[in-house]
């Protein structure tokens, strides 16, 4: 079924729980790569020195691939522009109304601050080259791109004609990383012991955060995830799938695969 959650509140809740259980958060520290000896992780190199550790998790979102390459770990994923529009307030829209999705139109939506949030999983998505983003980029967004989103807004108007006369507050365009099969990566790197990867969430990172984070924690602490995770294995791809030219072509089709 459908559910909704405030991602900021959810993240804050995870942090609070983690701190209560002894975790420390170091913000503004740039990880360069893992440090290893005899093919096992012994630490991470950062712009503020080395941190010794027995286990590292590369969960660096769309940056995970580049960080992996520093240790010859292949993490095939690539960011694409990903959108939703927020409308002005609409009559008859209420917070606990059901979400809707139209798999033919590749759109979905729900209430958001009195208006509608209308998002799409577009055909021929637009790859984003990380080196072309302004730095630092965390918490930032891309420019509105109505050329790419308009066909999906038209689909939404077709389903909900009142949208034609409704103002748009903003068109959110954030880069989101997709893998070559739009499934997440959740695995220990075959190339390096104790180097775990949780990345390439392919537009389900909020939904899957609790489950995948929990399974990964169990794997690290107990030595066994307790579930068959082969669907998310890094071994489902070869080195050829981590080439940039392949990824840029492949991910164009991945958002629209969301609706099957």
Ligand X SMILES: Cc1cc2nc3c(=O)[nH]c(=O)nc-3n(C[C@H](O)[C@H](O)[C@H](O)COP(=O)(O)OP(=O)(O)OC[C@H]3O[C@@H](n4cnc5c(N)ncnc54)[C@H](O)[C@@H]3O)c2cc1C
What is the binding site for ligand X (CB under 6 A)? 30-31, 59-63, 67, 82-84, 138, 172, 174, 176, 199, 201, 203-207
Q: How far apart are CA 82 and CA 122, in angstroms?
A: 8
- Please report where in the chains the tokens 């027995």 appear, as a residue: 54
Which of 180, 175, 192, 176 has its CA nearest to residue 58? 192
Minimum distance, C-beta of residue 67 to ligand X, in the bound complex (Å): 6
CB nearer to ligand X: give 132 or 165.
132
**Separation between Cα atoms, residue 51 and residue 124, nearest integer Å:** 41
Counted residue by residue, the chain has a size of 260
Instruction: Identify the three-state secondary structure at position 43.
Output: strand
To ligand X, the closest distance from the beta carbon of 20 in angstroms equals 20
Instruction: List alpha helices for the chain, DSSP H.
Output: 7-20, 64-70, 146-159, 205-222, 244-250
Select 132 or 240, whichever has its Cβ closest to ligand X.
Answer: 132
Closest CB to ligand X among 138 and 165? 138
CB of 119 to ligand X, least distance (A): 6
CB nearer ligand X, residue 5 or residue 164: 5
Q: Considering the complex, what minimum distance in angstroms separates the CB of residue 143 from ligand X?
A: 13
> What token pair was written down for 131?
């080196």
């Amino acid at each position: 079924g459908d559910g909704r959650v405030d991602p900021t509140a959810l993240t804050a809740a995870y942090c609070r729980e983690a701190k209560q259980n002894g975790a420390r958060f170091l913000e503004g520290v740039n990880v360069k790569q893992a440090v290893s000896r005899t093919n096992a992780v012994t630490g991470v190199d950062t712009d503020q020195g080395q941190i010794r550790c027995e286990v590292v998790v590369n969960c660096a979102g769309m940056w995970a691939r580049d960080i992996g390459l520093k240790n010859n770990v292949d993490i095939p994923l690539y960011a694409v522009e990903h959108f939703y529009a927020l409308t002005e307030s609409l009559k008859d829209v209420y917070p606990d109304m059901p979400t809707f999705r139209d798999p033919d139109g590749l759109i979905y939506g729900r209430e958001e601050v009195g208006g509608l949030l209308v998002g799409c999983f577009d055909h021929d998505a637009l790859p984003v080259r990380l080196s072309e983003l302004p730095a630092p980029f965390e918490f930032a967004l891309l420019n509105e791109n109505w050329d790419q989103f308009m066909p999906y807004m038209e689909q939404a108007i077709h389903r909900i004609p009142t949208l034609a006369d409704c103002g748009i507050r903003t068109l959110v365009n954030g880069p989101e990383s997709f893998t070559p099969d739009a499934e997440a990566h959740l695995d220990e790197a075959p190339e390096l012991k104790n180097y775990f990867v949780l990345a390439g969430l392919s537009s389900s990172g909020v939904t899957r955060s609790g489950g995948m984070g929990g399974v990964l924690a169990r794997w690290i602490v107990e030595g066994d995830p307790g579930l068959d995770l082969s669907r998310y294995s890094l071994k489902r791809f070869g080195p050829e799938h981590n080439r940039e030219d392949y990824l840029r072509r492949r991910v164009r089709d991945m958002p629209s695969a969301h609706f099957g």
